[in-house]
Structure 1
């Protein structure tokens, strides 16, 4: 696969490992391993930008803010999202710089960009919040939070109640012109956690909203906007599968748009897991002839770009 521009979406496993403590030190150790893989992609001649998730991190920032509300004001959710972009980006750029040095590419700058992403305030997601964030509460605690803070609380798989926020579709990257200016010289880390969601008022003023944008869809928008050749979505598995975890599981080295849409209609992909990844891949490939999306694991990332691993999503025309 001959490609040049690649936008890489990092899954949660690229930032944290199950069973390890949820500390900044532990995250940095995981990110260092991730950076080694990404630096090899850069060393192979690909121009890359990096988009990352923030689910666990933003939940902990929000919890810390709420827990300490008696001594310091609570931070709005959009502010917590921006905070997560800063500290995760700091870890990635520090680890990437060290890894690039070892690859003999220490002259490449790496920078984190606090990124706002415009969403439509009329998006149906605002009428039906579905994205759980933060910790679990009892029914009584949840009802109190609804009354006192105006939160929407929903029961989550029998484990208790959690706050849910909307997950609207990304429409526009506010800082896109900055990315465009930096692209040729710099590895940019942007749209952390899908970007800080903002709505645009009639006077052009931006206003943050309590929502979570899917980071794979945000990465797809970045890739479309910058004219990338490849959208690479990294997750825990090497390939997309149908009949996942069933005796007849089938791993897919390639999917056409038509095949992917058929599998989505048949509900082969789990919502909140593989489904948004396939949706983002399809939207990117549809956006322009010749574009390719790849879904694979971090360990197989470079091999997937070389056509030797992963699931490739193509137009099929």
Structure 2
């Protein structure tokens, strides 16, 4: 029986650094992601693909605000749904093109994630969305639109929004049913559309959920065998950016937690991936990998002839 891998890739994988985010650019990047997913499928894995949307949802929010004088601007949870459909379509078309004749089918599913209304994230926005601004632009936007804006590295300032933790996946049963049909499922796009329990059922709430945490929640919900967290680095690095930088091929949950406590994996970069991997393993998951899209397949290969320099970083429950 085929195993199931949940693969999480960031919105920055679809709109890469230095790109404007045109449709042509995003389509070309989606094709690269699709090749990696089809490689996993060819190796016998069922695949659920989760994607981020930080650049895209922030850009769409700007379009909404700028056009508010002509048409009503939509709230953030709605623009999240819009980009989920946009990027889901982009990835679905790319997968169908790359996997022509080899796939049972591809389904992009609008996915809602349940969050707690009193999550501390709503009082402390940290999730960067949209483009970079100069310091002057950032100050003007913060004043005019009431945005929370912070400096994001050397590239400038970005808007930040709340990013609560997902506690449930509304469409989990439907995702499982599609996996049973050996469909590739694109789900949890942009981290999912955040909802809370209201007086009349589920209600949207303005936030952008981290796609790594949503991927972990989906992986547990569908009893996935593996969680693959895609980044632009082949392996997780210790002492990243220093003269003592060194790659990790494998680390235990205990080692990962120690490195997190030591500040090795900041929340704005590798932290969510490592935390998501640890949670997946602690909740019964089998294999967690952090690597590039191209190395996802070799990283899940458990054969004895697997070369360490051909794979990413594996997080394991314990050392054997």
**TM-score, structure 1 normalization:** 0.91
- On the 8 A contact 1:191/1:219 being kept in 2, the answer is yes
SS in 2 for 1:51: strand
- On the 8 A contact 1:293/1:313 being kept in 2, the answer is yes
The 1:13–1:163 alpha-carbon spacing in structure 2 relative to 1, beyond 3 Å, is closer
The 1:138–1:296 alpha-carbon spacing in structure 2 relative to 1, beyond 3 Å, is closer
Is the aligned partner of 1:197 residue 2:194? Answer: yes
Is the aligned partner of 1:17 residue 2:20? Answer: no
Q: CA deviation at 1:143?
A: 2.4
Per-residue deviation, residues 4-58 of structure 1 (Å, max 9, x unmatched): 1110001345313333331011100111121112111101101111000101111
Is the aligned partner of 1:133 residue 2:135? Answer: no
- On the 8 A contact 1:118/1:171 being kept in 2, the answer is yes
Partner of 1:314: 316
- On the 8 A contact 2:56/2:130 being kept in 1, the answer is no
**TM-score, structure 2 normalization:** 0.90
The 1:160–1:139 alpha-carbon spacing in structure 2 relative to 1, beyond 3 Å, is farther
Alignment of 1:211-226 (within 5 A): 211-226=207-222
Deviates more, 1:88-97 or 1:21-30: 21-30
- On the 8 A contact 1:3/1:229 being kept in 2, the answer is no
Q: CA deviation at 1:211?
A: 0.7
Is the aligned partner of 1:299 residue 2:294? Answer: yes
Provide the C-alpha distance between the structure 2 equivalents of 1:159 and 1:40, rounded to a whole number of angstroms: 34
Q: CA deviation at 1:303?
A: 0.9
Partner of 1:112: 108
SS in 1 for 2:240: coil
Provide the C-alpha distance between the structure 1 equivalents of 2:197 and 2:161, rounded to a whole number of angstroms: 19
Partner of 2:143: 143
Q: CA deviation at 1:71?
A: 1.1
Is the aligned partner of 1:69 residue 2:64? Answer: no
> Where in structure 2 are there 5+ consecutive unaligned residues?
none
Per-residue deviation, residues 97-150 of structure 1 (Å, max 9, x unmatched): 11111xx414x110111111000011111122222334543435422323xxxx
- On the 8 A contact 1:295/1:312 being kept in 2, the answer is yes
The 1:140–1:97 alpha-carbon spacing in structure 2 relative to 1, beyond 3 Å, is closer
Aligned positions, number: 306
SS in 1 for 2:99: helix
Provide the C-alpha distance between the structure 2 equivalents of 1:130 and 1:14, rounded to a whole number of angstroms: 20
Pick the aligned partner of 1:265 from 261, 264, 267: 261
Is the aligned partner of 1:5 residue 2:1? Answer: no
Per-residue deviation, residues 51-85 of structure 1 (Å, max 9, x unmatched): 00101111111111111111111111111000000
Deviates more, 1:120-129 or 1:213-222: 120-129
- On the 8 A contact 1:13/1:235 being kept in 2, the answer is no
Partner of 1:284: 280
Partner of 1:42: 41
Partner of 1:91: 90
SS in 2 for 1:271: coil
Per-residue deviation, residues 167-216 of structure 1 (Å, max 9, x unmatched): 11000111111112111111110111110111112x46111111111100
